[in-house]
Amino acid sequence: MSDTHGTAPGPLARGALEPRVAATRSGWVVDARRSVADLVLSDESPLAKVLVKGPVTGAPGSVLGTSSGRAARTEVGGGTALVVGSGPGEWLVVGPVGTAAATVAAIERTVSGRPEFVSLIDLTHGRALMRLTGSRAPSVLAKVCAVDVEDAVVPNGGAFRSSVATVVTDVVRDDRDGTPSFLLHCERSTGQFLSEALLDAGEEYGIETTTLVGLVPEG
């Protein structure tokens, strides 16, 4: 799960959750322990996060292929990424750890020569990302978010931006093997507050923290 344990050379980045057993992975401090609880919260901040902005009907939409309010996996830069339609003319591309530069380069190559202006920003170290997974995940979010996240309103692949525990958050429904799972993306400065609010809301359901899940769970 981790590249190295203990102290790694050079500066290390940290996410929103304090690891129970610290390890390092690609320059990030991550939690090495894996929980088997029915409700878990994982810090996904090390995943590559690239913000793409451009005309609603321009090149980014045709290249990324995801409409506003939806999320889907696609091939970007030779790897699988989750492309989220965060809003009109705005997309968040979430990729494996360490792939932000390759993702930016791949999108730049694809939209080069198009007449419209496209903005690409690597948000990996500037934003927090966490994943809430479990059958009671909708119950947890109901305590801290006014948006109904049950299946009929936010099905798998749905995305929206709202206040979660008073924090402006992008929420993406990204189920794991049929189990409700939500990615929550916010400013890095408010990530710790949001994670603590989710842990408080999930305490009655036995919530635990777990290791980095990524786009594809590790075996």
Provide the CB-side half-sphere exposure for 45 (13 A, CA). Answer: 27
Distance, in Å, from the CA atom of 170 to the CA atom of 176, rounded to the nearest integer, reads: 18
Residue 79's SS3 state is strand
Q: Are 198 and 134 in contact (CB under 8 A)?
A: no
Mean of pLDDT over the chain: 90
Please state the rounded mean pLDDT for residues 26-48: 95
pLDDT level of residue 9 (50, 70, 90 thresholds): low
* pLDDT at residue 7, rounded to an integer: 45
The bridge status of strand 71-76 relative to strand 167-173 is unpaired
| pLDDT per position as a tens digit, 145-163 | 999 999 999 999 999 999 9
Cβ partners under 8 Å of residue 119, min gap 6: 51, 52, 53, 54
- Residue 76's pLDDT is what? 86
Alpha helices in the chain (DSSP H): 59-64, 100-111, 137-144, 188-201
Residue that is written with structure tokens 């991550």 in the block? 30
Looking at 49-53, 65-69, 92-96, which range is the least confident one?
65-69
Mean pLDDT within 53-70: 85
Q: How far is CA 39 from the centre of its chain?
A: 17
DSSP 8-state class, residue 176: B
Residue 2 pLDDT level (bands cut at 50, 70, 90): very low
Give percent of the chain above pLDDT 70. Answer: 94
Please tell me the predicted confidence (pLDDT) of residue 217.
63
Structural domains of the chain sorted by starting position, each given as residue range(s) with its CATH number in brackets: 13-46+126-210 (3.30.1360.120), 48-122 (3.30.70.1400)
Give CA–CA dist 14/188, Å, rounded.
Answer: 10
pTM assigned to the model: 0.91
